[in-house]
Amino acid sequence: MEHKASVLENLAEVRAMIKRHKRNDALFAAIGLICLMLGLITLMLLFWQLIADGYPKFNLDFLTEFPSRRAARAGLLSAWVGSLLVMSVTFLTAVPVGVAAGLYLEEYAPKNWFTDLIEINVSNLAGVPSIIYGLLALGLFVYMLDFGQSILTAGLTLGLLILPIVIVSTREAIRSIPLSIREAAYGVGATKWQVVYDHVFKYSYGGILTGIIIGMARALGETAPIITIGALTFIAFLPPSPITLEPPFLNFEWLSSGFTVMPIQMFNWLSRPDHAFHVNAAATGALIIIVTLLMNGTAIWLRYKIRKNIKW
């Protein structure tokens, strides 16, 4: 009887402990949900304020007119074209190098102190403030390599900025592939490259693409490194077109052209005392946020769709 009573007493204590832990879990979940909702509500209110302030400029003329000293005539043409060209250089420089580096470090690199040192530095570089990349680019690309204050310099700068993000996201996507997939491929006689390309890379493509889009979305809104390398705050012309009607149909003069981007143009308008320019800045800020949200939403949708089609 004493033994039975002892067991029942221990059982009651265990049940009380489980009940207490469940209550603590529910409390923690509620606190987390409240914090999440506070952040989202604050963001939505600020976003709504931007839309309300910039609503008068939500028209086609705002996107097709050059900046002007008159707020009513000022547009965003040179800024969004400059952002598009800079993002093109960023994509072409950061994505191939980042994906290749991630594949090499995860699948080919030997596990020793040197690769461990590289991994630690790549992870640390992902958290370095963007202004540091601007100072690095100023000394390396502008002065040492003499690229000048150009679209090429801006694209390479932002490419360096998102390169660690692409590498880390590529490695994490590759690590999510079960080891059994590799073993099955090796079991039927596949080579190392066939395993990596036909199985590992294709199955991890969704995660890699998500990291790339998120990195590009971050680069789109960066201001500090672009200011550091000397982006123009007022520009009333477009860079030369990358495509021509004459052979070889490609023109690379735009890489050395002066430029501005949407965050810089927004900063310029905010520095003006006239309230009408602040309306232009609000419209630009809302546009940047909308594009960023669309890019992140596209990344989430693509990842879900690609993973849904994967049959292990």
Three-state SS at 74:
coil
| 190-233 pLDDT per residue, tens | 888 888 888 888 888 888 888 888 888 888 888 888 888 877 77
Q: What is the mean pLDDT of the chain?
A: 85
| 92-114 pLDDT per residue, tens | 999 999 999 999 988 888 888 88
- pTM of the model as a whole: 0.84
| CB atoms inside a 10 Å sphere around CB 96 | 11
Structure tokens at 145: 């390599």
End-to-end, the C-alpha distance of the chain in Å comes to: 55
- Buried b / exposed e across 155-185, counting CB within 10 Å, b at 16+? bbbbbbbbbbbbbbbbbbbbeebeeeebeeb
| CB atoms inside a 10 Å sphere around CB 212 | 21
Amino acid of residue 240: P
- pLDDT-based confidence at residue 58 (cuts at 50, 70, 90): confident
| 114-143 pLDDT per residue, tens | 888 888 888 888 788 888 888 888 888 888
- pLDDT-based confidence at residue 3 (cuts at 50, 70, 90): low
| Residues whose CB is less than 8 angstroms from the CB of residue 231 and which lie 6 or more positions away in sequence, other chains included | 149, 154, 259, 260, 261, 264
